[in-house]
């Protein structure tokens, strides 16, 4: 066998490995996509039930003068709907592998738990479905984990997890909101300098759209309160 033949065999061998690796990645991607689609299909009706429940819960009182208006759902009926959909959300999170659908179910389930003042279970539920994904759903999961940690007086842990979002370019639309949350936590940790630094940076930004405009105003408001607190020596 000549040196050239040996080199070609080596190149073909390496190329074969690359093809196998590429095929493996493609297969895993297709399988992951298929699993996600199946999870979304299973979750669709549960999500619809929860959305319908929230619409009924937040619906304005019916116009009594309008005889054709649909009657309001009774509190008892709403409570039954909530119990049913809460159980379905919990079961979906528990019985299915982590996916975007599972994360959405966990977000809805934790929302109910927060209203019931069960922050511990809400936090542990979200922590179980957290991943390294940089997409929107996982970002929302991490934002809520941070909020629950802050509400549980674990501000340093909250700051650390929010920092993952701040470092994520894909989540730039959330950066200001998360930084404000970090600033409030730094204030809780008696690090007024860091809190003021974050708030000043946001407050001095030029408004760019409704979201940025709102967060800029919020930052300016919190900054004034912080500065008043410093002046008064509280």
Rounded Cα distance, 227 and 229, in Å: 5
194-202 long-range Cβ contacts below 8 angstroms, 24+ apart:
195/226, 196/223, 196/226, 196/227, 199/223, 199/226, 202/176
Q: What are phi and psi of 26, to 5 degrees?
A: -60, -45
Q: Using one digit for the tens of pLDDT, what is the confidence trace for 138-159?
A: 999 999 999 999 999 999 999 9
Contacts 24+ apart (CB under 8 A), 127-131: 128/93, 128/98, 129/93, 129/98, 129/102, 129/103, 131/98, 131/103
Q: What gap in Å lies between CA 115 and CA 74, rounded to an integer?
A: 19
Angle at 131 between CA 128 and CA 133, to 5 degrees: 155
**Per-residue pLDDT tens for 7-48?**
444 444 444 444 444 434 343 444 557 888 889 999 999 999
pTM for this model (two decimals): 0.80
| Separation of alpha carbons 234 and 232, rounded Å | 6
pLDDT tens digit string along 76-127? 999 999 999 999 999 999 999 999 999 999 999 999 999 999 999 999 999 9
Take residue 149 and report the two structure tokens written for it. 């940690």
């Amino acid at each position: 066998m000549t040196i050239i033949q040996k080199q070609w065999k080596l190149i073909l061998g390496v190329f074969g490995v690359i093809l196998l690796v590429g095929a493996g990645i493609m297969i895993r991607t297709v399988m992951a996509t298929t699993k996600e689609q199946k999870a979304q299909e299973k979750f669709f009706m549960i999500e619809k039930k929860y959305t319908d429940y929230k619409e009924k819960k937040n619906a304005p009182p019916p116009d009594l003068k309008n005889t054709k208006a649909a009657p309001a759902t009774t509190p008892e009926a709403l409570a039954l709907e909530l119990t049913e959909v809460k159980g379905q959300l919990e079961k979906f999170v528990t019985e299915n592998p982590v996916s975007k659908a599972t994360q959405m179910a966990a977000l809805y389930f934790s929302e109910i738990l927060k209203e019931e003042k069960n922050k511990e279970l809400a936090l542990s539920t979200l922590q179980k479905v957290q991943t390294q994904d940089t997409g929107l759903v996982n970002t929302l999961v991490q934002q809520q984990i941070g909020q629950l940690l802050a509400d549980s007086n674990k501000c340093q842990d909250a700051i650390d997890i929010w920092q993952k979002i701040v470092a994520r370019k894909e989540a730039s639309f959330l950066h200001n909101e998360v930084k404000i949350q970090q600033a409030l936590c730094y204030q809780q940790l008696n690090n007024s300098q860091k809190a003021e630094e974050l708030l000043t940076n946001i407050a001095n930004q030029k408004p760019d759209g409704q979201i940025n405009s709102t967060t800029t105003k919020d930052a300016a408001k919190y900054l004034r309160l912080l500065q008043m607190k410093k002046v008064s020596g509280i």
